[in-house]
Amino acid sequence: MTQTILSPIISARNLNHYFGQGALRKQALYDINLDLDFGEIVIMTGPSGSGKTTLLTLLGGLRSAHEGSLKILGQEICGASKQQLTQVRKRIGYIFQANNLMTFLSAKQNVKMSLELHENFLDEKIDAKAIAMLESVGLGNRVDYYPENLSGGQKQRVAIARALVSHPKIVLADEPTAALDKKSGRDVVELMQKLAKEQGCTILLVTHDNRILDVADRIIYMEDGRLV
Ligand SMILES: Nc1ncnc2c1ncn2[C@@H]1O[C@H](COP(=O)(O)OP(=O)(O)OP(=O)(O)O)[C@@H](O)[C@H]1O
């Protein structure tokens, strides 16, 4: 695996994005210019409907960009093939508000699944790796628990373990604390911050939660589809 540090890790230039067709076509993002550098934690805030999730999904290669240029880990995403997008996605960790754990898999199996999707981990002891990652998020005593028997904060920590176990260079998180009480929310972001600094990964986190803004190296603000 190449360890070349590409900086910026993500680079967007003059990005525009639209929803709908014909008369219903509506612009959601206007002329976005943004660089995310190696190892930094960036928090994106802004009113509801301002375009934060749309931008996050574009930056994560989860939808294709319409206009402009978007480079993720050196790969141009505008006009990229499905295969190229899939390759980029494998190098990104995602954490969502609703943790999206598989309810029929234990904590360990949820984390392992993320490794099973990567060819480069197939030869490794992924069981041990998944357990070690759960230990590092404080769930060493919960590895065989199913999501229904874990608290909201614990489930979100499993989601963090799943996102970080493959050591991605980028982690994108959409409202990771929205469903959590103050203490669990705080614990979750501090954990993300700690692991990101240890692993040297860049985090972009969308939130409405003012209580966690201080973990950011940089805060960016979105309004009416524009970064201001
Ligand atoms: N799939 C879609 N089809 C049509 N319009 C959409 C779609 N997704 C988002 N939009 C519109 O794009 C704009 C930006 O939405 P987006 O979800 O990115 O905002 P947001 O800042 O993440 O909001 P919130 O904080 O409420 O999650 C909104 O006007 C929304 O209605």
Domains in the chain: boundaries: 38-62+89-227
- pLDDT confidence of residue 44: 97
* β-strands 10-19, 202-206 pairing: unpaired
Mean pLDDT of the chain: 89
Is it the case that residue 6 has pLDDT exceeding 70? no
- pLDDT confidence of residue 35: 96
**Closest C-alpha to 93, from 65, 124, 62, 125:** 62
- pLDDT confidence of residue 2: 46
Look at ligand 1, atom 16, and give the residue with the nearest C-alpha.
Answer: 51
pTM of structure: 0.88
- pLDDT confidence of residue 36: 95
The ligand 1 atom nearest the CA atom of 54 = 18
Percent of the chain clearing pLDDT 70 (strictly above): 95
* pLDDT band per the 50, 70, 90 thresholds, residue 204: very high
Average pLDDT over residues 15-21: 93
Residue 157: count other Cβ atoms within 10 Å of its Cβ: 25
For the Cβ of 54 lying below 6 angstroms from any atom of ligand 1, the answer is yes
Percent of the chain clearing pLDDT 90 (strictly above): 50
* pLDDT band per the 50, 70, 90 thresholds, residue 125: confident
- pLDDT confidence of residue 147: 94
Average pLDDT over residues 144-152: 94
**Between 218 and 5, whose confidence is greater?**
218
**Closest C-alpha to 7, from 36, 27, 32:** 36
- pLDDT confidence of residue 4: 54
CATH topology of domain 38-62+89-227: Rossmann fold (3.40.50)
The ligand 1 atom nearest the CA atom of 55 = 18
Average pLDDT over residues 186-210: 89
For the Cβ of 48 lying below 6 angstroms from any atom of ligand 1, the answer is yes
For the Cβ of 50 lying below 6 angstroms from any atom of ligand 1, the answer is yes
Q: What is the DSSP letter of 15?
A: E
What ipTM did this prediction achieve? Answer: 0.94
- pLDDT confidence of residue 90: 87
**Between 117 and 72, whose confidence is greater?**
72
Q: What angle do CA 32, 71, 64 make, to 5 degrees?
A: 75
